[in-house]
Amino acid sequence: MPATAATDEQSRLPRHVAIIMDGNGRWAEQRGKFRVSGHKAGVKSVRAAVSFGYRLGLEALTLFAFSSENWRRPQDEVSALMSLFIAVLGSEVRKLHRNNIRLRIIGDRSAFAPHLQRKIDDAERLTANNTGLTLNIAANYGGRWDITQAARALAERVADGSLSPADIDEAALHQQIQLSDLPAVDLLIRTGGEQRISNFLLWQLAYAELYFTPVLWPDFGEEAFSDAIAAFVGRERRFGCTGAQIRELLEHKAGADNE
Ligand code: IPE
Ligand code: IPE
Ligand code: MG
């Protein structure tokens, strides 16, 4: 049977997408509202992105929710973000579980309040054996922190005699880096128009395609996500493919899944 355009495109789809969800504050300010209402509006985009990634058949979706530098924001914004994080964990985990999604939180969780740490542990434990999409939420995450904790883990093994310094190579360090058990990040999307990494995944982005869009995170829906995927497919294959074609592919997949 000849390969159709749809199956051809499908083989070029990313397996792992990471997103820097930026622009919530500006979205709110443009509407004359407090920044926190932009963060609240961003939750809807998180749901839409997870649903889209799931239907697209991604193996992993990694979302930057709170950076190790975001503690520098005004205290009331940090508190509001923490409360939102706790509320969303509480309200969404069961739904994720029902959809066979495995949830992981990456970052230095020791800075979080004990009850939040417990909620994170419970959510990870509940969903640990799910085999659908792996959803990684980066919270108090920094790319430099990640590489540092990996170096420390190797140093501890050298200290206890189970590893020789001569055996420290890229593969050994890689094993200690967050997400090392998942496919490499194929595509990084940053919303909100800035063109920088902001200390997100550093090691993991070595070969990722980078895609920057001016769309603010609360406005980032299925259409904007499919445009990003289309850009990725186009770059990889060196021919233009439109967002509409990616949406068509999704419909095609949904039809095939229901057969
Ligand atoms: C991203 O939106 C969300 C977090 C960093 C938590 P911002 O809050 O950075 O929004 P802008 O960049 O100020 O518009
Ligand atoms: C990056 O956005 C962090 C998250 C999206 C969680 P920021 O808005 O904090 O990054 P900078 O300050 O523009 O580099
Ligand atoms: Mg920002």
Cα 14 from chain centroid (whole Å): 13
Rounded Cα gap, residues 221 and 219, in angstroms: 6
Question: Tens digits of per-residue pLDDT, 194-207?
Answer: 999 999 999 999 98
Radius of gyration of the chain (CA): 19
Query: According to the model, what pLDDT value does residue 6 have?
Result: 54
Atom of ligand 2 nearest to the CA of 64: 6
- Pocket-forming residues, ligand 2, beta carbon under 6 Å: 20-22, 64-67, 70, 194, 196, 198
Domain containing 240 equals 3-258
Atom of ligand 2 nearest to the CA of 65: 6
Q: What is the DSSP letter of 123?
A: H
Q: Is the dihedral of CA 23, 27, 32, 34 positive or negative?
A: negative
Query: According to the model, what pLDDT value does residue 1 have?
Result: 34
When divided into structural domains, the chain yields a total of 1
Residue 239 CA to ligand 2 center (angstroms) comes to 32
**Ligand 2: which of 19, 20, 45 to mutate, judged by most atoms within 8 Å of the beta carbon?**
20
Q: Which residue ranges of the chain lie beneath pLDDT 50?
A: 1-3, 237-239
What the block records as the tokens of 256 is 């095939």
Torsion of the alpha carbons at 146, 150, 152 and 156, rounded to the nearest 10: 150
Question: What CATH code is carried by the domain that includes residue 167?
Answer: 3.40.1180.10
Question: Which region, left, alpha or beta, applies to residue 96 given φ > 0 means left and ψ of -120 to 50 means alpha?
Answer: alpha
Q: What is the DSSP letter of 220?
A: -
Catalytic: 22? yes
Question: Which region, left, alpha or beta, applies to residue 168 given φ > 0 means left and ψ of -120 to 50 means alpha?
Answer: beta
Say which residue the tokens 């200690």 belong to: 176
